[in-house]
């Protein structure tokens, strides 16, 4: 009886193994489960992005008004990579050396007294931004929009301002020595009183004479 029962079991196993339609159903079910998982992953991706942005803003806002980086470099760069507007962001007095924010939307941002040496703000929108006392040494500001920006006492030495728009920008007391001014829109600059323009590179025709006439200085000693 035992052998007869065993034979019966194996006969049914052989039957099911030979029934490929049944196995195909199982295969399709497995594939369908994977598909459902992928659909849910994409459906929840928006929530994950929002959570990531929320955490980045938390980092920026928590460190507001404090020195150091406090994770703000990574947070700002992540938001900008996702094309999030940074309009009005306050990172005054922050240590942001090497910050990379090309094409960033930074209108009315507050960078007062921030250290932005070697940063990349190529084509950034910095209209009406507060850049008072900011350090932009060796920074890339090529084609940035600095209209109505406050650049008083800013250090722009050795920076690249090529193609910048400076209409109504205040550059009083700023340090522009060895700064690249190729192709800047300068005719509407609001102020250059005591601005150091010694050694400026590629100044547009007429700029140096105009600046000196309006209070800029040459051959000032380095700070």
Q: What is the per-residue pLDDT for 68? A: 82
pLDDT band at 47 (very low <50, low <70, confident <90, very high): confident
Q: What is the per-residue pLDDT for 45? A: 56
Would you say residue 112 has pLDDT above 80? Answer: yes
Mean pLDDT of the chain: 86
pLDDT band at 50 (very low <50, low <70, confident <90, very high): confident
Q: What is the per-residue pLDDT for 69? A: 83
- When pLDDT is averaged across residues 6-23 and rounded to a whole number, the result is 58
Three-state DSSP class for residue 44:
coil
Would you say residue 120 has pLDDT above 90? Answer: yes
Q: Tens of pLDDT along 132-159?
A: 999 999 999 999 999 999 999 999 999 9
Would you say residue 35 has pLDDT above 90? Answer: no
Q: What percent of the chain has pLDDT over 70?
A: 78
Q: Tens of pLDDT along 187-220?
A: 999 999 999 999 999 999 999 999 999 999 997 5
DSSP structural state of residue 42: H
Q: What is the per-residue pLDDT for 38? A: 52
> Own/partner pairs for 104-112, CB < 8 Å, 24+ apart?
104/76, 104/80
Would you say residue 166 has pLDDT above 60? Answer: yes
DSSP structural state of residue 142: T
Is 155:135 a contact under the CB 8 Å cutoff? yes
| pTM beyond 0.75 | yes
Q: Tens of pLDDT along 58-94?
A: 999 998 877 888 899 999 999 999 999 999 999 999 9
Q: What is the per-residue pLDDT for 169? A: 98
Half-sphere CA count of 135, side-chain side, radius 13 A:
13
């Amino acid at each position: 009886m035992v052998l007869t029962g065993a034979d019966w079991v194996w006969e049914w196993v052989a039957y099911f193994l030979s029934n490929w339609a049944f196995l195909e159903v199982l295969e399709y079910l497995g594939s369908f489960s994977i598909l459902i998982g992928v659909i849910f992953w994409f459906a929840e991706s928006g929530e994950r992005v929002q959570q990531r942005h929320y955490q980045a803003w938390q980092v920026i806002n928590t460190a507001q008004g404090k020195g150091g980086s406090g994770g703000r470099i990574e947070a700002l760069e992540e938001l900008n990579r996702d094309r999030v507007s940074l309009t009005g962001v306050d990172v005054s007095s922050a240590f942001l050396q090497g910050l990379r924010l090309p094409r960033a939307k930074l209108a009315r941002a507050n960078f007062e007294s921030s250290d932005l040496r070697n940063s990349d703000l190529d084509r950034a929108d910095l209209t009406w931004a507060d850049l008072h006392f900011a350090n932009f040494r060796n920074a890339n500001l090529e084609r940035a929009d600095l209209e109505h920006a406050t650049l008083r006492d800013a250090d722009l030495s050795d920076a690249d301002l090529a193609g910048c728009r400076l209409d109504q920008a205040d550059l009083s007391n700023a340090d522009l020595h060895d700064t690249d001014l190729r192709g800047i829109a300068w005719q509407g600059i609001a102020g250059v009183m005591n601005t150091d323009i010694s050694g400026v590179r590629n100044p547009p025709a007429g700029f140096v004479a105009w600046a000196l006439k309006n209070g800029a200085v040459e051959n000032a000693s380095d700070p």
